[in-house]
């Protein structure tokens, strides 16, 4: 039960800490919102990177502690729900693909991509056990 709870909460924690990282970027560097790339502030791009890195780290942590890869499937529930919630909130007809919508889509996909990337890399888990 504890391991299932860890598999659900660790990716959720990565999302929450990534969102809090955006507030930290704004507080630590007040001018970050005045700097933009394609009319989207720099803190949004930094947040996508932070969520991706944190999700990747969570995935590597879970992979190192899982006896088999099929036990990692519950960890994909929260990122999938995150995609669904953000997609429903952001994309209403008519759809427009601007830089902001692409950053928003990246924020939605970053946790799932981070976990899948971590799970796709080889693990030296088999080398640690005799």
* Residue 102: per-residue pLDDT: 83
Q: Is the pTM of this model over 0.75?
A: yes
Contact status, residue 62 vs residue 117, Cβ threshold 8 Å? no
Place of tokens 């209403």: 92
Q: Where are the domains of the chain?
A: 2-122
Place of tokens 């995935």: 59
CA distance 88 to 125: 38
The token pair that represents 21 in the structure block: 């990282």
Distant-in-sequence, close-in-space partners of 85: CB < 8 Å, separation ≥ 6: none
Q: Which has the minimum average pLDDT: 4-13, 20-29, 59-68, 94-103?
A: 94-103
């Amino acid at each position: 039960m504890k391991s299932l709870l860890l598999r659900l909460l660790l990716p959720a924690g990565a999302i929450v800490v990534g969102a809090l990282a955006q507030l930290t970027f704004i507080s630590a560097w007040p001018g970050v919102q005045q700097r933009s790339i394609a009319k989207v502030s720099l803190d949004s791009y930094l947040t996508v990177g932070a969520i991706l890195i944190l999700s990747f780290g969570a995935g590597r942590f879970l992979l190192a502690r899982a006896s088999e890869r099929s036990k990692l499937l519950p960890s994909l529930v929260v990122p999938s729900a995150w995609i669904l919630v953000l997609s429903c909130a952001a994309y209403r007809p008519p759809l427009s693909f601007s830089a902001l919508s692409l950053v928003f889509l990246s924020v939605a996909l970053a946790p799932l991509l981070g976990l899948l990337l971590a799970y796709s890399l080889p693990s030296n888990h088999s080398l640690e056990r005799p």
